[in-house]
Structure 1
Amino acid sequence: MNEGKTGAVGVAKFLLINYEYPPLGGGAGTATREIARALARQGHAAAVVTTQFKGQPAVEDDGGAAVYRLPARRRAQSTSAPAEMLSFLASALRRAPGIANEFQPHAAICFFSIPSGVAGLWLKKKLGLPYIVSLRGGDVPGFMPGAMAATHALTMPVTRMVWRNAAAVTANSENLKQLALRTMPDLDIPVIPNGVDTEKFHPVADREQSNTARTALFTGRLNEQKGLDILVRALGRAHADLPAGFRMILAGGGPEQERLQTLARAHRVDGIVEFRGWVNPADIPGVYREADFFVLPSRDEGMPNAALEALASGLPVVMTRIPGSEALVRNAENGALLPRAAGGGPDEEALAQALRRFASLPPEEHARMAAAARAQAMRFSWDSAANAMARLCEQRMQHAQS
């Protein structure tokens, strides 16, 4: 690597690999895009290998990063089945070596152990290209132990091989690191937190405060991991005590939507739960600015981008006390951390109590929490995450050459 513009990290070329990239997928796709753009801003060259979706160009420039989209059997923007991930992997095994030969990267950064890490391993075997694996949550054995235990047992040998051959394995939270160490205790796993674009995600200017905060928001995939069934049941418990005009916006799509709609009717809260469906990423900042507080009742997470975006938008955050949560939310300061139930996700009654409380916050308390939320988000930036990735690549390559 040559000396960079700031002298802190040498200028290099990075190939980022992720089967999801906006508008596809969730937080890891956003992280891939924002880190690629940040690397480009810092003077590096960045290229991305990802999935091509309906009508998307095969190659384009995105904020200074070259994006190569490979054909894959992807049917929906919000979710990807295992067979669809394998379809991307098959394309990546065929096409990524040619892209790498043309681009000549110094290192690859693979988001998720599988499928992206397998593509990174292939590039190492074929071209000698070192790769870093960025753990995101679902790719770590022990994450969502009930729902994903069988998948993790099946993929464990591949996960170990991908980690063992990587120049480095990183995690986006300390708790995710500790979970990964249960699988390979001898790994050195640096923690590189997610960032947030605080210019794109910002509070409403001169928000008009009413006597109550009446709109709650969730953004993300409607799947089992997010614990939205618990949220709907908690709304059923709290409904009679919520202020008139209260609404709960669920912005996102996914396999649980029909079941959640049925559950909302069963608990007689279908009148206050608004299913927005999949929202274009360009419109998401405006959705946050519709809300007064944010709810993330997840059963498990790495470090949720959605919570960071909510904080940056000046929203107090109510979320489960899960990996990554304590780095973001502090009780009574910028939101509430809810005790985790035995089956995962927040305790249902604790969530109902939090809904009652945050739906009726006095204006001055809401304003104080909103300011604290924004201040917390300002501590996390994609430039810092990208610089940490680049520095780690440089250190590991220097170590390999010594």
Structure 2
Amino acid sequence: MPKKDVNHINLLFLGRLVLYKCADIVIESIGKLAQAIKSKISLKIVGEGSERNNLENRVKELNLGEIVSFLGWVNQSETLDYYRKADIFYFPSVRKFGGAVVMEAMACGLPCIVANNGGIGEYVNEDTGFKIEPISREYLTQELTSKIQMLVEDARLRESMSAKAIEKAQKFAWENKAIKIFDIYEKMLGEKRVSAST
């Protein structure tokens, strides 16, 4: 795999383009960045949905056509390539509780910026990325802008979060889940044997 350009940071949003996934917040956040930061980044939006036209129009209004590109729907098998080429993953969805895409991104070593909502908020911690309280759209936008800037400017932080994201994702691998479930059963059976003998 070709080496990433350390002077250019690739941002990724992957998901259906519907209101509650909040791809618009990612676009608005990028629009608020200083030009010096904008010149160092690009954002790939992978996905399709009813909001695509609105999102493309907003990109034009904010003059972000050089930074933001829409790639449409891709096969699940192709998403791995997009994760591998990215440096930071954004998923500020306010209604998605499982968020498998976040775990996939972490497994590929991406620091993640997410809304602290449902299971997604459980995956991401201060070592692996940032979770933002979904207080309001304005707050999410403001915080996302701040976190993007922080990660773009701090290569060490990105590297550290990348390593920790991989480490955390490994705990969710199926074989590790199976071991944990087995340990729980063993513990429960042991407690049952103790209580039965007393």
Q: TM-score, normalised by structure 1?
A: 0.42
Unmatched 5+ residue regions in structure 1?
1-203, 389-402
Going from structure 1 to structure 2, the CA distance change for 1:224 and 1:208 (only over 3 Å counts) comes to closer
State the Cα distance separating 1:245 from its structure 2 match.
4.0
Q: Does 1:341 align with 2:150?
A: no
The counterpart of 1:226, out of the listed 17, 21, 30, is 21
- 1:288–1:313 contact (8 Å) kept in structure 2: yes
- 2:10–2:85 contact (8 Å) kept in structure 1: yes
Task: Kindly provide the amino acid, as one letter, of the partner of residue 339 in structure 1.
Answer: E
Unmatched 5+ residue regions in structure 2?
182-198
State the Cα distance separating 1:299 from its structure 2 match.
1.6
| Identical-residue share of aligned pairs (%) | 25
- 2:4–2:85 contact (8 Å) kept in structure 1: no
Greater relative contact order (CA < 8 Å, ≥ 6 in sequence): 2
The counterpart of 1:369, out of the listed 161, 176, 192, is 161
- 1:214–1:360 contact (8 Å) kept in structure 2: no
Partner of 1:312: 107
Partner of 1:352: 145
Aligned partner of residue 218 in structure 1, secondary structure: strand
- 1:213–1:293 contact (8 Å) kept in structure 2: no
- 2:12–2:89 contact (8 Å) kept in structure 1: yes
CA distance in structure 1 between the aligned counterparts of 2:110 and 2:160, rounded to whole angstroms: 10
Task: Kindly provide the amino acid, as one letter, of the partner of residue 136 in structure 2.
Answer: A
1 or 2, which has the higher helix percentage?
2
Aligned partner of residue 299 in structure 1, secondary structure: coil
- 2:115–2:121 contact (8 Å) kept in structure 1: no
The counterpart of 2:32, out of the listed 233, 237, 245, is 237
Alignment of 1:2-401 (within 5 A): 207-208=3-4, 210=6, 212=7, 214-331=9-126, 333-342=127-136, 347-362=140-155, 364-382=156-174, 384=177
- 1:249–1:274 contact (8 Å) kept in structure 2: yes
- 1:238–1:352 contact (8 Å) kept in structure 2: yes
Task: Kindly provide the amino acid, as one letter, of the partner of residue 143 in structure 2.
Answer: A
- 1:312–1:378 contact (8 Å) kept in structure 2: yes
- 2:107–2:169 contact (8 Å) kept in structure 1: yes
CA distance in structure 2 between the aligned counterparts of 1:301 and 1:321, rounded to whole angstroms: 10
Aligned partner of residue 371 in structure 1, secondary structure: helix
State the Cα distance separating 1:240 from its structure 2 match.
2.0
State the Cα distance separating 1:339 from its structure 2 match.
2.4
State the Cα distance separating 1:209 from its structure 2 match.
6.5
- 2:112–2:128 contact (8 Å) kept in structure 1: yes
| 1:251-304 Cα distance to aligned partner (Å, 9 max, x none) | 111111111000111122122111010011111101101100101111222120
CA distance in structure 2 between the aligned counterparts of 1:293 and 1:269, rounded to whole angstroms: 18
State the Cα distance separating 1:243 from its structure 2 match.
4.8
CA distance in structure 1 between the aligned counterparts of 2:31 and 2:38, rounded to whole angstroms: 14
| 1:211-258 Cα distance to aligned partner (Å, 9 max, x none) | x55110011111111111111111111152415241011011111111
Task: Kindly provide the amino acid, as one letter, of the partner of residue 322 in structure 1.
Answer: N
Going from structure 1 to structure 2, the CA distance change for 1:276 and 1:209 (only over 3 Å counts) comes to closer
Task: Kindly provide the amino acid, as one letter, of the partner of residue 29 in structure 2.
Answer: A
Runs of 4+ with >4 A deviation: 206-209
Going from structure 1 to structure 2, the CA distance change for 1:342 and 1:365 (only over 3 Å counts) comes to closer
- 1:247–1:273 contact (8 Å) kept in structure 2: yes
Larger Rg: 1
- 2:151–2:157 contact (8 Å) kept in structure 1: no
Partner of 1:111: none
CA distance in structure 1 between the aligned counterparts of 2:56 and 2:101, rounded to whole angstroms: 22
Partner of 2:194: none
CA distance in structure 1 between the aligned counterparts of 2:36 and 2:133, rounded to whole angstroms: 21
> For the aligned residues, what is the CA RMSD?
2.3
- 1:250–1:277 contact (8 Å) kept in structure 2: yes
CA distance in structure 2 between the aligned counterparts of 1:371 and 1:209, rounded to whole angstroms: 18
- 1:320–1:338 contact (8 Å) kept in structure 2: yes
State the Cα distance separating 1:306 from its structure 2 match.
0.5
